[in-house]
Amino acid sequence: MTVQLKINHLTKKFKDVTALDDINLELHSGEVLGYIGPNGAGKSTTIRSILGILRPSMGSVEIFGMDAFKHASKIHEKLSYVPGDVYLWPNLTGGQTIDLLLKMNNQQHTNKTDKLIKDFGLDITKKNKTYSKGNRQKVALIAAFSTEAEIYIFDEPTSGLDPLNEEVFQNHLLKLKQQGKSILLSSHILSEVEKVADRIAIIKDGQIVETGTLEDMQYLTSTLVEATTKDEPIDLKNLSGVNNLVIEKNHVSFQIDAKNLNSVISYLTTLEIIKLKTTKPTLEQIFLQYYKVSGDK
């Protein structure tokens, strides 16, 4: 597995605002990295640093072994990017814009471009100024997906897409992944990140608060347990890691830290389990949990 992009101790300050505070991140070939965090956390600042638009206050970004700021134009030959706010020339048609975007990146309009236009169901004869937000995003996405690159970066690319087109987006993303491309996907649509990302990085207040696979994060967070036992589980309240405990005779529900799950299940076994259901947290719940924890600081 090759490291295509490496962020080393990156700090970015805007006057007295520290937008990024000593962040480290890696993107490997064939990997989709989901990049999530609340508004103003620093996602777009990270991406603009990767694109070489911003000069780091400290630290560096290395792409294909080159410095992202110093060698931006060389790097951009193998990098494709879609911003969240897509600005398009108002008087060009969607089709003209796609071709212009491709040309600017030394790319050709190919069969792949036609297939993308069809898949996203975009009427390319209309002028950009007449497009809705979702259609403007489609123009940028079609150009980005038809570009031959090694790294693809998407900054909240699907916020305007309907569910059908979001699925088209996800399918094309997975195709890139199968081809061994590297993808950085910043998104607020957590179900989307959950579906396509191999690893997830959570950023908050300019700091990476967690990186790992969804399973890693599920391990770190609590599981919801609902059980019915033959005997009443009265000693549960004394076991460590048990939260939000509700006991109604021999029915019980509680949350348990993953590291304490084993001992709690062993205890329930001694009471004879009649029914047991464990629910892992969704990315959404993990996300909220992180925020609550860091909000308590």
Ligand X SMILES: Nc1ncnc2c1ncn2[C@@H]1O[C@H](COP(=O)(O)OP(=O)(O)OP(=O)(O)O)[C@@H](O)[C@H]1O
Contact between 80 and Mg ion per CB under 5 A: no
Pick the closer one to ligand X by CB: 12 or 199.
Answer: 12
Task: Look up residue 84 and give its two tokens.
Answer: 């969240």
Residues with Cβ < 8 Å from 271, sequence gap 6 or more? 229, 230, 231, 232, 233, 250
Angle at 59 between CA 201 and CA 197, to 5 degrees: 15
142 contact choice in ligand X, Mg ion, none (CB below 5 to 8 Å, kind-dependent) = none
Pick the closer one to ligand X by CB: 99 or 210.
Answer: 210
Task: Look up residue 241 and give its two tokens.
Answer: 């890691």
**Least distance to Mg ion from the beta carbon of 202, Å?**
14
Classify residue 238 by its DSSP letter.
G
Nearest in space to 64 (alpha carbons), one of 2, 145, 107: 2
Instruction: Tell me, residue by residue from 34 to 73, as one string, x for binding to Mg ion by CB under 5 A and - for no binding.
Output: ---------xx-----------------------------
**What string of DSSP letters covers 133-197?**
HHHHHHHHHHHHHHS--SEEEEESTTTT--HHHHHHHHHHHHHHHHTT-EEEEE-S-HHHHHHH-
Stretch near ligand X under the rule CB under 6 A, chosen from 12-20, 117-125, 135-143, 193-201 = 12-20
The H-assigned helical ranges of the chain are 43-50, 72-76, 94-104, 111-120, 133-146, 163-178, 190-196, 214-220, 261-270, 283-295
**Least distance to ligand X from the beta carbon of 44, Å?**
3
Candidate list 37, 52, 157, 233; residue touching ligand X; CB under 6 A: 37
Interface positions, 42-101, toward ligand X (CB under 6 A)? 42-45
Pick the closer one to ligand X by CB: 48 or 112.
Answer: 48
Classify residue 105 by its DSSP letter.
T
**Least distance to ligand X from the beta carbon of 238, Å?**
43
**Least distance to ligand X from the beta carbon of 213, Å?**
22
Interface positions, 13-32, toward ligand X (CB under 6 A)? 14, 17, 19
Stretch near ligand X under the rule CB under 6 A, chosen from 41-49, 189-197, 246-254, 275-283 = 41-49
Stretch near ligand X under the rule CB under 6 A, chosen from 38-46, 113-121, 209-217, 259-267 = 38-46
Burial (CB count <10 Å: 0-12, 13-18, 19+), residue 169: buried
Tell me the number of residues near Mg ion by CB under 5 A.
Answer: 2
Residues that bind Mg ion (CB under 5 A): 43-44
Binding site for ligand X (CB under 6 A): 14, 17, 19, 37, 39-45
